[in-house]
Amino acid sequence: MRLLWSPRSPFVRKVMILVYELGLQDRIDCVRAVAVPRGAPNPVITAENPLGKIPVLLRDGLPPLYDSRVIAEALIALVPDGDGDGERLLPASGEARLTQLRWQALGDGLTDNLLLWRIERTGASGGDPGTMASYRAKVIATLAALEREADALAEAPFGLGAIAILCALGQLDFRYRTSGWRSAHPRLAAWAARQATRPSLVATAVQDDIGSDEGPVMDLVFGGG
Ligand SMILES: N[C@@H](CCC(=O)N[C@@H](CS)C(=O)NCC(=O)O)C(=O)O
């Protein structure tokens, strides 16, 4: 299988963490693809995913898969039931499954808001103030919610929800470097720090291979040292 991939993308990283957690590295070839959120979409991506977004999983003789949630289901299904890895990452049923899916929604939603806020901010006009205020408020509310969930995250087996949340926090570190989010969310920060040494996270650390300008400093600063 081939994955339309970028080392800068938090959603691609989510898929790659799963690939490592499931031991599927040898079955996936990563193909660098540049997603462009402004102007003409990259035709290499739209040929496979009309939404113009990555990740996209290309399978021999089968339709391409997108988005990261669908790819996650497909990868987990590749691992035999008896092995336990898939079930560990996303339980097959019940409240434990809903918890992982809800955490995935929180993590993916935070990543979406971080990406969209930055796209708005880097637009020609510098961004619509009302739209940017809305993204900012939703990012702050989501981090507060995650801080309240930090103990539950720590108690649950490492799963799809944790992966999505850690990718969102990685995006915060990548593009909102001066936010100081850890000081205002100590339990979330402690949980994230404990996960940071997992081989799947180390192997997939976000990298800016294009070396583009950092862009504007975003209006997200938490006080408290
Ligand atoms: N819901 C999608 C989101 C994917 C997404 O937003 N990917 C970004 C890169 S991190 C992208 O391709 N952006 C290009 C665009 O928005 O046109 C998923 O989970 O895969």
Please, which pLDDT band fits residue 40 given cuts at 50, 70 and 90?
Answer: very high
Q: Are 190 and 202 in contact (CB under 8 A)?
A: no
Please, which pLDDT band fits residue 224 given cuts at 50, 70 and 90?
Answer: low
Binding site membership of 91 for ligand 1 (Cβ less than 6 Å): no
State what percent of residues in the chain have pLDDT above 70. Answer: 96
**Assigned token pair, 164:** 């999505």
Q: Are 4 and 45 in contact (CB under 8 A)?
A: yes
Q: In sequence order, which residues have a C-beta less than 8 Å from that of residue 141 and are 6 or more positions away?
A: none
Q: How far is the CA of 38 from the centre of ligand 1 (A)?
A: 12
Stretch 6-33: mean pLDDT, rounded? 97
Stretch 177-189: mean pLDDT, rounded? 96
For a mutational test of ligand 1's pocket, the pick from 54, 70, 118, 171, i.e. the residue with the most ligand atoms closer than 8 A to its C-beta, is 54
Spatial CA neighbour of 18 closest among 100, 94, 98: 100
Mean predicted lDDT score pLDDT of the chain: 94
Domains annotated for the chain, with CATH where assigned, are 2-87 (3.40.30.10), 90-198 (1.20.1050.10)
Spatial CA neighbour of 139 closest among 116, 157, 158, 123: 116
Stretch 71-81: mean pLDDT, rounded? 89
**Assigned token pair, 40:** 């003409």
For ligand 1, atom 19, which residue shows the shortest CA distance?
68
Backbone angles phi, psi at 46, to 5 degrees: -65, -20
Stretch 184-211: mean pLDDT, rounded? 96
pLDDT at 18: 97
For a mutational test of ligand 1's pocket, the pick from 49, 53, 117, i.e. the residue with the most ligand atoms closer than 8 A to its C-beta, is 53
Spatial CA neighbour of 101 closest among 68, 55, 65, 52: 68
Termini Cα distance of the chain: 46
Stretch 128-139: mean pLDDT, rounded? 97
Position with higher pLDDT, 56 vs 83: 56
pLDDT at 225: 44
Instruction: Give Cα separations from 70 to 42, 57, 100 (angstroms).
Output: 21, 10, 14
Please, which pLDDT band fits residue 211 given cuts at 50, 70 and 90?
Answer: confident
